[in-house]
Amino acid sequence: MTDYPTAANFLNPMPAWPVNASCEFFKNVPNLPMKEVRDPKVASVLTDRQKLVFNALRDAANVYFNYDNKKGYCMDFKDQDATGSLADAGWNVLTCNQLPMPDSVGKESMFRPSTFDYAAYTANCQEQYGLTPDFHWALREFGGYNIKRDLKHYSNIVFSNGDLDPWMAGGLHGDQYFEVSLKLPYYVIKGGAHHLDLRLPTKADKGTDVEWVREQETENLEGWILDYQ
């Protein structure tokens, strides 16, 4: 989500292309053929390699949690939301009210499988904030059950996504856009993380996809203003 082409401090201070920076720590971890992994005679080799893996994992995680090295090698495992400087308490209230976002994780993912529990989520919101989440409010209010029907009369909206941003999964996609045949601009930013087009331009943007997308968005906004006037 925060894999930006320049150093940034959204959520936490990080270098340019932090995903690449994280992967660098694993380049000296040797690969082992599967036959050696299964051989009990190389147990000591596996132990040494495991130490390298865990050290690399710690350093990779610190690219997000502690890139400025203010905390030494200590990592706050209680920070499970990992939202850094973001005021996540306000977001939590929203997700317990009108903007809950149910999500599950399947067995094919790199993450641990989990199934969203509506009852448990609701009970937690009621206990924490005295709120009962309205899981269908956004769809009722703005549409989305049937995109071709619900967005038919919408105007003055730019749909943009970054192809690196996991939130893209919840956005309008190209096949849906062309199916609707709306006069609404739609862009996918190559190499774009979360809301890259809304961040301040930098020298690194020169000649890239995000520079072009920003130009298109500006032209659309100018056109809408002129039409209104």
Residue 136 scores a pLDDT above 80:
yes
Last residue of a domain, one of 122, 142, 162: 142
Provide the pLDDT confidence category of residue 220 given band limits of 50, 70 and 90.
very high
Using CB atoms within 10 Å of the CB of residue 187, give its burial: 0 to 12 exposed, 13 to 18 middle, 19+ buried.
buried
**Among candidate residues 165, 101, 187, the one with its CA nearest the CA of residue 136:** 101
Contact between 174 and 201 under an 8 Å Cβ cutoff? The reply is no
Same domain, 165 and 219: yes
Residue 164: band (very low, low, confident or very high) from pLDDT cuts 50, 70, 90: very high
Shared-domain flag, residues 136 and 207 = no
pLDDT of the residue at 210:
96
Domain interval for residue 114? 87-142
Q: How many domains does the chain have?
A: 3
Share of the chain above pLDDT 90, in %: 50
Residues 163 and 225 both lie in one domain: yes
Q: What is the pLDDT of residue 197?
A: 96
Greater confidence, 94 or 154?
94
Do 167 and 220 lie in one domain? The reply is: yes
Q: What is the CATH number of the domain that holds 11?
A: 1.20.120.980
149 and 111 in one domain?
no
| Domain closes at, from 60, 81, 102 | 81
Type and span of the H or E element at 161: strand 159-162
Tell me: do 76 and 17 sit in the same domain: yes
Instruction: Give the pTM.
Output: 0.81
Same structural domain, 52 and 72: yes
Highest mean pLDDT among 22-36, 67-81, 193-207: 193-207
Q: Express each pLDDT in 13-52 by its tens digit.
A: 999 999 999 999 999 888 876 555 556 665 556 678 888 8
What per-residue confidence (pLDDT) applies to 129?
95
Where among 81, 99, 122 does a domain terminate? 81
As a whole number, the mean pLDDT across the chain is 86
Q: Please state the rounded mean pLDDT for residues 124-129.
A: 96
Tens-place pLDDT, residues 76-118: 667 667 777 777 788 889 999 999 999 999 999 888 899 999 9
User: How would residue 173 be classed by pLDDT, with cut points 50, 70 and 90?
Assistant: confident
55 and 94 inside one domain: no
Does 22 share its domain with 75? yes
Q: Nearest to residue 210, comparing CAs of 156, 161, 158?
A: 161
- Tell whether 4 and 67 lie within a shared domain: yes
Do the beta carbons of residue 164 and residue 172 sit within 8 Å?
no
- 103 and 60 together in one domain: no
11 & 56 share domain: yes
